Amino acid sequence: MATLNEKKTCSERMENFRRFVWNPETKLFMGRTLINWVWISLYYLAFYVVMTGLFALSIYSLMRTVNPYEPDYQDQLKSPGVTLRPDVYGDRGLQIYYNTSENKTWERLVTTLQTFLTAYTPAAQHLNVNCTGDKYFIQDTFDGPNNTKLSCKFTSDMLQNCSGIADPTFGFPEGKPCFIIKMNRIIKFYPGNGTAPRVDCTYVGDESRPLEVDYYPVNGTFNLHYFPYYGKKAQPTYSNPLVAVKFLNITRNVELKIVCKIIGAGITFDNVHDPYEGKVEFKLKIEN
């Protein structure tokens, strides 16, 4: 092996490398003649064109066969996620701290709510219909305009004291803040099995300790006529129903852990791996 292991100096190595890149005697560029390189490049070009073509064809046929109204599977969407407004994140999860005497600390939160509720003004909802029945709004046909399905109206005034109409500060300065709970939409999800699901807020870990809460609409329910959701294409104007919660007796200057669960058949809130499934937890601290 002696011949193979000769110690080469750096300059010899460089020289060898230069010779490899372009060998003037044999006219080899990187070990091949130029025409060879052309052929190889052409081969690879053709190869990749064919491969990309096949790939494009696969994606094209996928999009042609995919159902535009509802997904084939909803493996990860067994139970809806729940979100909170205003949503301010701290180190670990939602964390809403403010000082009643410092306007700046809560104005931001109020603005979040106001911005959020702009989607629920009567003007924003004018394409949706008024629904009155307390049953699932099942539509097997496309009755809406442009071959769509109808969606029920949800306007912010249904949130009464927390609508921001009577009290644009949502009770923040008084230390009785409003929070809005929203349930994620899932296509053809029937929550509650006939009974309207409702929001229930408690202290975390200490459920017996009373937490005085006002729920809007009454009882904190999501009316059944907002369900099921038929998807973006069928219900382009659909808006999620909301529940507002107003905390009435928040102890000042203490960090409180509060969880709002949605109670209803088909909605689970005990998935240890997903803290936002069927419930929303947040920390609240009001200083003055």
Partner 1 sequence: MKKEMDVDDHKLELPDLEAKYSTSITKGLVGAVAAERLLRDGPNELRPPRGTPECVKFGRQLAGGLQCLMWVAAAICLIAYGVQEGQGDRGSADNLYLAIALIAVVVVTGCFGYYQEFKSTNIIASFKNLVPQQATVIREGDKLQINANELVVGDLVEIKGGDRVPADIRIISAQGCKVDNSSLTGESEPQTRSPECTHDSPLETRNIAFFSTMCLEGTATGLVINTGDRTIIGRIASLASGVENEKTPIAIEIEHFVDIIAGLAIFFGATFFVVAMVIGYPFLRAMVFFMAIVVAYVPEGLLATVTVCLSLTAKRLARKNCVVKNLEAVETLGSTSTICSDKTGTLTQNRMTVAHLWFDNQIHTADTTEDQSGQSFDQSSETWTLLSRVVTLCNRAQFKSGQENVPVAKREVIGDASETALLKFAEVTVGTVSEARGRFPKVAELPFNSTNKFQLSVHTAGDRQLLVLKGAPERVLERCSTVMIKGQELPLDAQWREAFEGAYADLGGRGERVLGFCARWLPAGTVAAGTDPEALPEVAVGLCFAGLVAMIDPPRATVPRAVLKCRTAGIRVIMVTGDHPITAKAIAKGVGIISEGSETPEDVAARLRVPLEQVDPRQARARVVTGAELAGMEPGVLEGILRAHPEMVFARTSPQQKLVIVESCQRLGAIVAVTGDGVNDSPALKRADIGVAMGIAGSDAAKNAADMILLDDNFASIVTGVEQGRLIFDNLKKSIAYTLTKNIPELTPYLIYITASVPLPLGCITILFIELCTDIFPSVSLAYERAESDIMHLKPRNPRRDRLVNEPLAAYSYFQIGAIQSFAGFTDYFVAMAQEGWWPLLCLGLRPRWEDTHEQELQDSYGQQWTFEQRRYQQYTCYTVFFISIEMCQIADVLIRKTRRLSLLQQGLFRNHILVIAIVFQVSIGCFLCYCPGMPNIFNFMPIRWAPPPQVPVVVRAHALRPPHPHLRRDPQAGRAAAPRELVGS
For partner 1, give the closer residue by CB, 83 or 103.
83
Any bridge partners for residue 213, and if so which? 247
User: With binding defined as CB under 8 A, does residue 54 bind partner 1?
Assistant: yes
3-state DSSP helix/strand/coil % of the chain, to nearest 5: 25, 20, 50
Out of 80, 86, 192, 197, name the contact with partner 1 by CB under 8 A.
Answer: 80
Paired strand residues for 251: none
Binding of partner 1 by 123 (CB under 8 A): no
Q: Report the 10 Å Cβ neighbour count for 107.
A: 14
Amino acid (one-letter) located at 142: F
Among 18, 27, 34, 44, binds partner 1 (CB under 8 A): 44
Identify residues 255-274 at the interface with partner 1 (CB under 8 A).
Answer: 271, 273-274
232 binds partner 1 (CB under 8 A): yes
**In whole angstroms, how close is the CB of 209 to partner 1 at the nearest point?**
27
What is the smallest separation between the CB atom of 73 and partner 1, expressed in angstroms? 5
**Residue type present at position 90:** G
Nearer to partner 1, 87 or 287 (CB): 87
Contact present, 238 and 169 (Cβ < 8 Å): no
Part in contact with partner 1 (CB under 8 A); list of ranges 50-58, 100-108, 156-164, 255-263: 50-58
51 binds partner 1 (CB under 8 A): yes
Could you tell me the CA-to-CA distances from 195 to 39, 64, 100, 135, 191 in Å, in that order? 71, 38, 38, 8, 8
What's the rounded Cα separation, in Å, for the pair 242 and 156?
9
Answer yes or no whether residue 154 interacts with partner 1 by CB under 8 A. no
Does position 55 interact with partner 1 (CB under 8 A)? The reply is yes
Binding of partner 1 by 10 (CB under 8 A): no
Question: From CA 188, how far away is CA 70, in angstroms rounded?
Answer: 9
Residue 121 is a binding residue for partner 1 (CB under 8 A) = no
Considering only residues 96-115, where is the footprint of partner 1 by CB under 8 A?
A: none
5 binds partner 1 (CB under 8 A): yes
**Which runs of consecutive H residues, i.e. helices, occur in the chain?**
10-21, 34-65, 103-117
Q: Of 176 and 182, which CB lies nearer to partner 1 in the complex structure?
A: 182
Least separation in angstroms between residue 248's CB and partner 1 is 26
Structure tokens that stand for 253 in this block: 């200057």
Instruction: Sketch the per residue contact string, 187 through 216, with partner 1: x for CB under 8 A, - otherwise.
Output: x-----------------------------
In this complex, which beta carbon is closest to partner 1, that of residue 76 or of residue 253? Answer: 76
Work out the angle at residue 179's Cα, subtended by the Cα atoms of residues 257 and 92, and round it to the nearest 5 degrees: 40
Is residue 229 a contact point for partner 1 (CB under 8 A)? yes
Nearest to 276 by CA among 96, 132, 76, 35: 76
Maximum distance among all Cα pairs of the chain, rounded to whole angstroms: 93
Beta carbons within 8 Å of 204's beta carbon, 6+ residues apart? 257, 258, 259, 281
Per CB under 8 A, residues contacting partner 1 are 1-5, 31-33, 36, 39-40, 43-44, 47-48, 51-52, 54-55, 57-59, 61-63, 66, 69-77, 80-83, 87, 89, 182, 184-187, 229, 231-233, 235, 238, 271, 273-277
